[in-house]
Amino acid sequence: MQDIKSYTLTELTEYITSLGEPAFRAKQLYQWMHEKCVASLDDMSNIPKALKEKLRSDAANGSVDITPADATPQKVDITTITPVDIRESRDGTRKYLFELPDGELIESVLMRYKYGNTVCVSSQVGCRMGCRFCASTMDGLTRNLTPAEMLDQIYRITRDINERISHVVVMGMGEPMDNYDTLITFLRILTSPEGYNLSRRNITVSTCGLTERIREFADEDTGVTLAISLHAPDDELRRTMMPIANRYSIAEITEAAKYFFDRTGRRITYEYALVRDTNDSEECAHKLADLCRQTGAHVNLIPVNPVTGRGYAPTADDGVRAFKNKLEKQGINVTIRRELGQDIDGACGQLRKRYTGDLR
């Protein structure tokens, strides 16, 4: 089953003309959904009633999915996700818990910076990558999100704050490269000039390092930035933190990262969560600097966010600064990710866990 909010403009035009409607109607619908971010067909003032009925009856006979899968009484006519909890932190960060049409829950985070509004988007309900420090993966993967469900996180937040979102990071729940086709459609729609028109340069996709997908992504030439969650500079240590390291070695990741840089001209970022007495030694900094030189990568450091039941403690502030200095002395470009929203379960997947009852 399909959902018109997940259609590219070309696909939507095909569908609308197949209904015997003029092509410009597709563009109007697309603009309502993706530029004006309306939540319902009812709000689309220049769409004739007859076409709305046609779309609704197509939904009813199942040829296009504009009602929720289980056709619950609160009838929606284009896939829209619903905020069930919004928490605002002292630093202005807002954490949204969204309910999907089938009742599943996902998290999105709004971070406010001087240069604009960033939304951290989820790509799956749960995750099957199993990183030991991460809350999102504790119950495995429930399902992939659809393009509409990824897009609507940005649209609902835009409407909530009545401001445009300037930056998007695909760093919420899930592994985006494990939901690859959806990721590509999401990026196409999000950056399309007839839609939200978000600048490619302001989008970052983060992966734990699925190397075949990284190469495919490089060939796709989406123009977005790629971040790779490295977290350890050698395979042995990385395997203790990330099960995926049993499948892909750091040498393979390095090759894929080089390929990405050669194909796109865009430097990648290595994400590195500092865990006390685990990956924050001087030796680790040296090895990490070597890896960065091989690929021209930047480093994004973050003290690991402690997750209940995980037993990983963050490196203290002075340790974080020392690690940064060591990298910088070797000519590596380093940023420290500000820990926003700690007072509102800012760490990955924690707000949802509180709701599903696993965290008190």
Catalytic machinery residues? 107, 348
CB of 104 to ligand SAH, least distance (A): 17
Q: Which stretch binds ligand SAH (CB under 6 A): 3-11, 67-75, 131-139, 247-255?
A: 131-139
Residue 8 half-sphere exposure, CB side, CA atoms within 13 Å? 13
> Cα separations (Å) of 24 from 31, 47, 49?
11, 11, 16
Nearer to ligand SAH, 38 or 241 (CB): 241
Two tokens at 137? 């993966």
Nearest-approach distance from CB 314 to ligand SAH, in angstroms = 8
What does the longest C-alpha to C-alpha distance in the chain come to? Answer: 68
C-alpha neighbours within 13 Å on the C-beta side of residue 76 = 20
Q: Least distance (Å) from ligand SAH to the CB of residue 151? A: 18
Indicate which single residue of 67, 206, 264, 279 sits in contact with ligand SAH (rule: CB under 6 A): 206
Q: Which is nearer to ligand SAH, 158 or 206 (CB)?
A: 206
Residue placing its CB nearer to ligand SAH in the complex, 313 or 322:
313
Part in contact with ligand SAH (CB under 6 A); list of ranges 45-53, 89-97, 203-211, 320-328 = 203-211
Among 138, 305, 324, 351, binds ligand SAH (CB under 6 A): 305
Shortest distance (Å) from residue 58 CB to ligand SAH: 35
Sole binder of ligand SAH in the list 3, 149, 271, 280 (CB under 6 A): 271
With contacts defined by CB under 6 A, name the span among 23-31, 49-57, 157-165, 304-312 that binds ligand SAH. 304-312
Helix (H) or strand (E) holding 339: none
For position 198 contacting ligand SAH by CB under 6 A, the verdict is no
Q: How far apart are CA 23 and CA 17, in angstroms?
A: 6
Does 124 contact ligand SAH by CB under 6 A? no
Q: Exposure of 55 by Cβ count < 10 A (0-12 exposed, 13-18 middle, 19+ buried)?
A: buried
- DSSP assignments along 3-37, one per residue: -GGG--HHHHHHHHHHTT--HHHHHHHHIIIIIS-
Interface with ligand SAH, residue 107, by CB under 6 A: no
Q: Is 345 in the site for ligand SAH (CB under 6 A)?
A: no
Residues with Cβ within 8 Å of 20's Cβ and at least 6 positions away in sequence, in order, are none
Q: What's the 3-state SS for 40-87?
A: CHHHCCCCCHHHHHHHHHHHHCCCCCCCCCCCCCCCCCCCCCEEEEEE
Binder among 225, 229, 269, 278 for ligand SAH (CB under 6 A) = 229
Structure tokens that stand for 324 in this block: 């940064």
Q: Which of 30, 133, 186, 248 binds ligand SAH (CB under 6 A)?
A: 133
Candidates 60-68, 97-105, 138-146, 206-214 — which segment interacts with ligand SAH by CB under 6 A?
Answer: 206-214
Q: Give the span between the Cα atoms of 177 and 335, in whole angstroms.
A: 24
Indicate which single residue of 4, 134, 218, 237 sits in contact with ligand SAH (rule: CB under 6 A).
134
In 3D space, the residue among 70, 90, 91, 103 whose CA is nearest the CA of residue 352 turns out to be 103
Q: Least CB distance from residue 98 to ligand SAH, whole Å?
A: 16
Q: Report how far residue 307's alpha carbon sits from residue 340's, in angstroms, rounded to the nearest whole number.
A: 15
Binding-site size, ligand SAH (CB under 6 A): 18
165 in contact with ligand SAH (CB under 6 A): no
147-161 vs 180-191: helix axis angle to the nearest 10? 40
Residues of this chain that bind ligand SAH (CB under 6 A): 129, 131, 133-134, 171, 175, 206-208, 229, 271, 273, 302, 304-305, 307, 347-348
